[in-house]
Amino acid sequence: MKFKSTILLAAIFIGLIFYVVFYEVIGERKRTAERKEKNKVFHFHRDSIATITVERPDIKMTFEKRENNWWLITPVNYKANNMNVNSLISQMEIAENEGTIAETGEDSISYGLGPTKMKLYLVLKDGEKDSILLGDKTQIRYSAYARKSNTGEIFLTNYVILDNMIKDLMEYIEKKILVINKSDANRIVLTYPNRVIDLVRTGFKEWDIRKPIKDRADFEETLSILDKFDYTEVKKFIDKDFENLEKYGLDKPNVKMDVFFEKEASKLSLLVGTKVRKEDEQEGEVSYYAKNEVYDPIITIDSSIVNKLNPNLFTLRNKTVVSFKSDTVEKIVLDYKDSLFVCVKDTADNWVLGEDMKLFANKTKIDDIITQFLNIKTLEFLDYNKGKFSQYGFDKPRMEFVFKTRDDKEIERLAFGKFKGDRVYLINKTKKRIYLIKSEHFYNLKFKKSELIKQEEETQV
């Protein structure tokens, strides 16, 4: 009998545990979730949103979802700031009816819910619509008066949603003038009224100038054009009438930039017009009218971006005098006119002196010759005119360097000519380029035989 009583008590105890766990604990969580869902102001899934409209007495802003981005379509057509739009959506998701103030909306005006107050509209992809009116903030912590458009009930809700609605238009737009994927950009074309600069990516950290001349471009300078758009923002919206281009000098822009992309086979374009008139500008600022071809409105941009889009051709050019890679050079001919040295890299990557390869060369010195040439930068580019070779001293060069592969294939040939003050003329005969460089490079590359030989090992190989 005792045993049966114990079993019965145990069963009752286990039953109580199940009751507490499943009804009081798990059940309460479910009931709380159901109450919160019931009290939500909006019922939607964020992926189902088609448009959101914020209507205030001063402005009406409509946002449209396009793929993974939000676009502002009213009052202007412009890419929206995704973070701020998503912040508004997050507040809509958690907004709750925190308590009924009045069953009808007869006294709406006293709660700041008049017809000219804040309105928030939501349209889902299936066509379903929902909206809310936001009124004054209350004395109750973090609350504001609200009313759903389809009911008369006035209730309290968290006023953070109101704070998102009163943000300025400029806070809701993507302020970057152009959003550029620099790793995918493969061409930049700058078009001016009387010239064109055409830059093309040719490899990793390598760009070429195709117009107005054909030469290597300076990688850092080229990239700096695109870098400028990382932190330069729209200053002001001027005119949403994009057909009125002549008024802002955009029918015949001072410069047009086209950036082409390889992967998407697409481009981004920016037109820059005239300087901003005084009535459109704050005192002390220098701005220009501009237009992103994708967007409708005329905007103003800072003069610094305009200056960057008007580079000096010398600045854009790669100012190094050789283009070879150090590991491709396996033979160097040094012609000092009074002496000739041939340095060859053997199969063990040691430098040896002489065609017969009987003396070890000073590896540090030979590597230094290569490094110095790689680091020389011209101070001035000169026209490649054979008629002026004697003027530059290339008819009787002071010294000449020939860089080759081990099988004697010439990579580049350079010669030093006359001095001009503290500078010296240099010609790259392979590239057909003439430079004016610092004379110190000449003296740093002039070596005696004793300096080229590995002193501690002058024995035969």
Listed in sequence order, the residues at least 6 apart from 301 whose beta carbon sits closer than 8 Å to its beta carbon are 177, 232, 234, 235, 272, 287, 288, 290
pLDDT tens digits, 251-274:
899 999 999 998 667 889 999 999
Among 31-45, 105-119, 306-320, 326-340, the minimum mean pLDDT is found in 31-45
Question: Would you place residue 461 in the very low, low, confident or very high pLDDT band (cuts 50, 70, 90)?
Answer: very low
- Given a cut of 50, is residue 237 above it in pLDDT? yes
End-to-end alpha carbon distance in the chain: 109
Higher pLDDT among residues 327 and 35, named by residue: 327
Which of 260, 253, 276 has its CA nearest to residue 191? 253
Q: How far apart are CA 236 and CA 238, in angstroms?
A: 6
Look at residue 23 in the predicted model and tell me its pLDDT: 52
pLDDT tens digits, 107-126:
777 777 777 678 888 899 88
- Mean pLDDT for all residues in the chain: 84
Tokens of 10: 């145990």
- Given a cut of 70, is residue 305 above it in pLDDT? yes
Look at residue 3 in the predicted model and tell me its pLDDT: 57
Q: Which of 45-59, 145-159, 231-245, 285-299 has the highest mean pLDDT?
A: 45-59
- Given a cut of 90, is residue 436 above it in pLDDT? yes
